[in-house]
Structure 1
Amino acid sequence: MTDEADIPGDTSAAELALGLLDGEERATALRRVLADPDYARAVEGWRMRFAQLFDLWPEAEAPEGLIDRIDAGIGGPAPISRLRMPWPALAIGSSAVAAALLVFVAVRPPAPAPVPAPVLVAARPGPLLVASMDAKAAPVPAVFDSRGGSLRVASAPETPPARVAQLWVIGRDGVPHALALLGARAQVVNLSAADRARIAAGATLAISIEPLGGSPTGLPTGPVVAKGVLGAV
């Protein structure tokens, strides 16, 4: 597993990989991708890290005109024609695409003057919490949606015969709490109110190998084969 501390570069590398930069900030970051190999590797490292989440979280298209309404509500630029691009395409763009975007940013005309308008702005959604549990074969990503209280987990590591993978959360109390039994496919875990309260930034998710039906003691009895800390996105 690649830890955040092992990825060189500053936070702008992650912001560029997520498509959060715009205007001069994006132009500066793209120039740096072309000029600084370490920074380019940092951007690619973040893209690969975020790409693990694509299979867990289905695409959802925003309502028509949402960004224009948000821009107008905060006094931003008036609605202009926008080019829609799929999220995964942004995350895995090649250096050639980055260079083309750099030219586009450098020559595009300035946006029209702001035109304030009274509109209803959608409330900002709660944060997502993400963990990449380090396993022997491959990391096991997990995403917690604080709005719906659901936890999406990738397929569990391979288990021996007559054994099952069990997911645990370890919160501030330091005690493992069982969340679910995991299978060979990605799944959505619907959590109880008590378990949702334990899912927070800094909490640890872990997977242990247990007898069929899960741990008979309420605590892990087999080896822990994957573990990762939840962080906010």
Structure 2
Amino acid sequence: MSDVRGPDGEEADLAAEYVLGVLDCAERRSVERRAEREPALSNEIDAWTTRFAPLYDQISDEPPPASVWPRIANELRRMRRLGHDGVQSVRRKGERAGRRVSGIWQWIGLGGMGLAAASLAALIVTAGGLGGVATKGAGVVLAGTLVDPQGQPLFTVVYNREENAATLIPVAHAADGGKVPELWMVPPNGAAPLSLGLLNVSKPSHMRMPVTTVGEKDSALAVSLEPPGGSPTGKPTGPVVASGALLNL
């Protein structure tokens, strides 16, 4: 990429992410404001746009199935019904556990709000793909949203079962106090959580999964805050800040 990157590789990465559309709304506005006053960044955006232009010609319009939008509307209604009860349930359980890790791991990913949000994310992916993962056949791509104990989304997840790889897109992030978010898989059989790697809260993380059971039925994903470099014990040591389940498309 030497023909695209300038002296500041980070700036080139930011321009590429802008052109690919993986930044959230606030980040896009920030980049656009910077590009108005920073010719170097504006040139990087133009260069990446030119570089990706041949790919655009290969993408044909693919209207979503007629059933997609009614299903999204149904999920929104279901989220309204389940949201209050799910969040209150999570809060009560979190309070009883006193935010102890051992207590929190018993309820992650199972609240009504988390499942409803995951369902909605899955429908959106079905409608047109997300995070660079192309829509595949049924059961190949899974999606979900990892939410905090108050039901607020922190990460959107798209997992490709064939490639055993996932893209995690940060929506927001919890106060870290110098700690880093670590992703865990929680097996459905009550076994100890398995570390899947560290996450980046400033841009999407593209991860090859170290295990092949990420999409297993009734399993869940969770994010805990750990010391730099990850958990020193191989088990969660910090507070669980987000959790959720993946759904088959």
Higher gyration radius (CA): 1
TM-score, normalising length from structure 1?
0.49
TM-score, normalising length from structure 2?
0.46
